[in-house]
Amino acid sequence: MNAISPSEARHAHALRNAMSVDVEDYFQVEAFARVVRRESWDEFPSRVAGNTGRMLDQFARRGVTGTFFTLGWVARRHPQLVRRIVAEGHELASHGFGHARVDTLTAAEFAADVGDAKKLLEDLGGVAVQGYRAPTFSISARTPWAYDVLAASGHSYSSSIYPVRHDLYGAPDAPRFPFTTSAGILEIPMTTLPVLGRNLPCSGGGYFRLLPYTMFRQGLRLFNRNEKRPGLFYIHPWEIDPDQPRIAAAPPRSRFRHYLNLGATTARLDRLLRDFAWGRMDRIFADALAR
């Protein structure tokens, strides 16, 4: 990465980036899917409402609004959380109902999942739900019907592709910038930086906890400067919760990824909210959505 001057940093700061939160609980992540049965989720102490509430407080202190991709499973159990997200000016969007990977479902099962989630979120929030993010960025060439299903269910955009190589997800050959699919759905990929012929992740998630904050900040500033367009950041409520119960049966690599630097994330997020300008996805990408 090339260093950027103070004047270039100020120019990058003037761009408003998109803030997003994937509202799911700590036991629902893909990294634990092999050791935490979906049927047992209600047996775990839920922490998603408290963690999301603290994140909403943090956003409010910084005057930031974002997009909350919320699981139907969570919304059904915490309706007051959905109403708070809307009441505080954030965009309510869908993360599907049961956090099932799209590439493990049939088209009919996917239609039921996103349809049920959208209806519930809209009923609780009293607003239209335009956006969808697939669990574990699992829309790919193996799910050619996914965008047709999203269009038929009334969604306008998706944020379900990460153009990187990763053992759990990734579509490294996918476009790096928003594009309109044949079904008319706007796909907004996660932010990446091209370095030596490879796309490096620059959207948050585990990389935000793994990398030194200054390196992540430099990457996002470079993206803003070089591409002259907004970046997209995502985070989970469980990432600000160092006191969450441990899933001891998970493989060592999964535990490392999940629990790394949880105690530092709140402070890092506060620096990020301060160092960049942020907004909801539906407003940041309003021009593309209107086409």
Summarised one tens digit per residue, pLDDT across range 165-178 is 766 666 777 899 99
The whole-number pLDDT of residue 197 equals 81
The whole-number pLDDT of residue 14 equals 67
- Rounded to an integer, what distance in angstroms lies between the CA atom of residue 108 and that of residue 113? 9
The whole-number pLDDT of residue 168 equals 61
How many Cα atoms occupy the beta-carbon half-sphere of 272 within 13 Å?
32
The whole-number pLDDT of residue 216 equals 96
CB 78 within 8 A of CB 48: yes
H helix intervals, 228-264: 252-259
- Rounded to an integer, what distance in angstroms lies between the CA atom of residue 139 and that of residue 36? 23
The whole-number pLDDT of residue 170 equals 61
Rg (CA), the chain: 18
The whole-number pLDDT of residue 208 equals 95
The whole-number pLDDT of residue 231 equals 97
- Rounded to an integer, what distance in angstroms lies between the CA atom of residue 32 and that of residue 36? 6
- Rounded to an integer, what distance in angstroms lies between the CA atom of residue 48 and that of residue 78? 9
For residue 248, what are the contacts with CB-CB under 8 A and spacing of at least 6? none
Top CATH class, 6-290: alpha beta
For residue 211, what are the contacts with CB-CB under 8 A and spacing of at least 6? none
CB 45 within 8 A of CB 257: no
The whole-number pLDDT of residue 174 equals 82
The whole-number pLDDT of residue 4 equals 44
How many Cα atoms occupy the beta-carbon half-sphere of 210 within 13 Å?
10
Q: Which residues of the chain have pLDDT under 50?
A: 1-13
The whole-number pLDDT of residue 169 equals 67
